[in-house]
Chains A and B, each alone.
Chain A
């Protein structure tokens, strides 16, 4: 293959055409897959909400606006950028069973994003699930799967604060760290404490004044999958 020496116009046009075609292809695949990717993410979150609040049959998205929790549909106008979301879960009779709270923070390698269920009446964490993490496979990633570790969060007191211990927990606010994954376990506990500091007071206030009207009628509430 002995191509003649190419002039600058030809080189620029080759790269220009290649760039244009690449741009079209990338934007095309982005548009084609965007909906599906967002749906996957929403489905994963949805499933997680009902796992951390296992007595919930229905949930509603709440937004923190001016220190008050309002259903997301009402707050839709005037929403600016990052919003603090929390999900309220209701059982079949419409009674609120708790809140699912998304939280994130630094883990051993990258940000850990998790979702936990909180019951304001009993002031306890009732479930926790890691949504996203890049913890070390085989060690740190046990925070996702280790049954004994996850069982710590089924009935965990949040007061005075969640504590990490390295032996069998004796108090109901203690979590038994995973051996070999102390940093990841500590990260989960720290994320929970930070989120509790941010949310619990507000949720307790909201809990004292239950939202008016049955949540089933409210727009933005969805049933269990």
Chain B
């Protein structure tokens, strides 16, 4: 990314932390709660979303001058739905096990508001390169959040990580962690942690994170 203008790198990085879709924008929480009962599911959902978001952003940004404003949302949805169908069928063909686990949630990426949100707020107003950087950043931030949720919930709820048992027979899994309430608990605690970290950083602006702290010079 060294050759690209600073803007692209900026757009890439913001999705990871400063504007993380899950922990800061609180978008796309439905898949984040529903499929993160194991690390591999979180990762697979993240990968499918990355494919759909990046593909859609590239296409929408490239065609942004040809899409009349009144029909833009419809067009975005057609584009997104097509990428989702491609992801759904490819996953079913190449990784049937993962597809079985994720079930209907792959098809439901169509209505993930992170994706439509990025088309409307960013890809339809920016050059393809910047739009792809933004989409990749948001996707990576989303995937990282889902992976983190999946790792925490799988370790506590199943006593394993990526299907590998961690504790032997001496661990009694907290089954609630892989049930829906566990998703809410984990997201809630992580949101709290994120908010705390942000506030704490505001009070002590001169830390290692100074470069990305709010209010930095342009």
Binding site for B on A (CB under 8 A): 1, 3, 6, 10-11, 14-15, 18-19, 21-22, 25-26, 29-30, 32-33, 36-37, 40-41, 44, 132, 134, 136-139, 180
Contact between B69 and A25 (Cβ–Cβ < 8 Å)?
A: no
B9 on the interface (CB 8 Å rule)? Answer: no
Which 7 A/B pairs are nearest by Cβ-Cβ distance?
A: A6-B68, A33-B93, A36-B93, A138-B178, A22-B82, A33-B89, A40-B96
Cross-chain contact A25 with B86 (CB below 8 angstroms):
yes
Provide the residues of chain B in CB contact with A44, threshold 8 Å: 96
Per the bound structure, the CA–CA distance linking A180 and B173 in Å amounts to 14
- The residue on A at minimum CB distance from B182 is A138
A114 to chain B, nearest CB (A): 14
CB closest residue in chain A, given B74: A15
Question: Is B175 in contact with A14, judged by CB distance below 8 angstroms?
Answer: no
Q: How far is A132 from B75 in the complex, measured between Cα atoms in Å?
A: 35
The chain A residue with its CB closest to the CB of B89 is A33
Question: Which stretch (B59-67, B137-145, B187-195, B208-216) binds chain A?
Answer: B59-67
Given A15-B75, A26-B85, residue A137 in contact with residue B96 (CB < 8 A): no
In the complex, residue of chain B having the shortest beta-carbon distance to the beta carbon of A30: B89
Contact residues in B for A15 (Cβ distance below 8 Å): 71, 74-75, 78
Query: Helix, strand, loop or mixed for chain A's interface?
Result: helix
Chain B residues contacting A26 (CB-CB under 8 Å) are: 82, 85-86
Contact (Cβ within 8 A) A19 B71: no
B173 proximity list for chain A (CB < 8 A): 138
- Which chain A residues border B90 with CB–CB below 8 Å? 29, 33
Chain A CB within 8 A of B54 CB: no
Q: Which residues of B contact A19 (CB under 8 A)?
A: 78
Residues of A within 8 A of B175 (CB): 138-139, 180
B198 contacts A by Cβ under 8 Å: no
Interface residues of B (CB under 8 A from A): 37, 64-71, 74-75, 78-79, 81-82, 85-86, 89-90, 92-94, 96, 100, 103, 125, 157-158, 173, 175, 178-179
Q: Among the interface residues A18, A21, A32, A40, which one has the most CB atoms of the partner chain B within 10 A?
A: A18
Q: Which residues on A sit within 8 Å (CB–CB) of B74?
A: 15, 18
CA distance A36 to B96 in the complex (A): 10
**With known contacts A19-B78, A22-B78, A6–B70 Cβ distance under 8 A:** yes
20 more contacts with CB within 8 A, not counting A6-B71, A40-B93, A138-B158, are A1-B65, A1-B125, A6-B68, A6-B70, A11-B68, A14-B75, A18-B74, A18-B75, A22-B78, A26-B82, A29-B86, A36-B93, A36-B94, A37-B92, A37-B96, A134-B103, A136-B179, A138-B173, A139-B179, A180-B175
- CA A123 to CA B195, docked complex, whole Å: 63
Docked pose: A15 CA to B64 CA in angstroms = 14
Chain A residues contacting B79 (CB-CB under 8 Å) are 18, 22
In angstroms, Cα B158 to Cα A60, docked, is: 39
The docked-state distance in angstroms from the alpha carbon of A36 to that of B37 is: 28
Chain A residues in 8 Å Cβ range of B100: 132
Indicate if the CB atoms of B75 and A29 lie closer than 8 Å.
no
Report chain B residues within 8 Å CB of A29: 85-86, 89-90
**From A25, A40, A139, residue with most partner B Cβ within 10 Å:** A40
B31 to chain A, nearest CB (A): 15
Tell me how far the C-beta of A145 lies from the nearest C-beta in chain B, rounded to whole angstroms: 11
A168 to B: closest C-beta gap in Å: 21
Contact of B71 among A1, A14, A33, A138 (CB under 8 A): A14
Please give, as numbers and ranges, the residues of chain A lying within 8 Å of B103 by CB-CB distance: 134
| Chain A residues closer than 8 Å to B89, beta-carbon distance | 29-30, 32-33, 37
Please give, as numbers and ranges, the residues of chain B lying within 8 Å of A139 by CB-CB distance: 175, 179
Instruction: Give the Cβ gap from B137 to chain A, nearest Cβ, in Å.
Output: 22
CB neighbours of A25 from chain B (8 A): 82, 85-86
A14 touches B66 (CB 8 A): yes
Judge whether B179 and A3 touch: CB under 8 Å: no
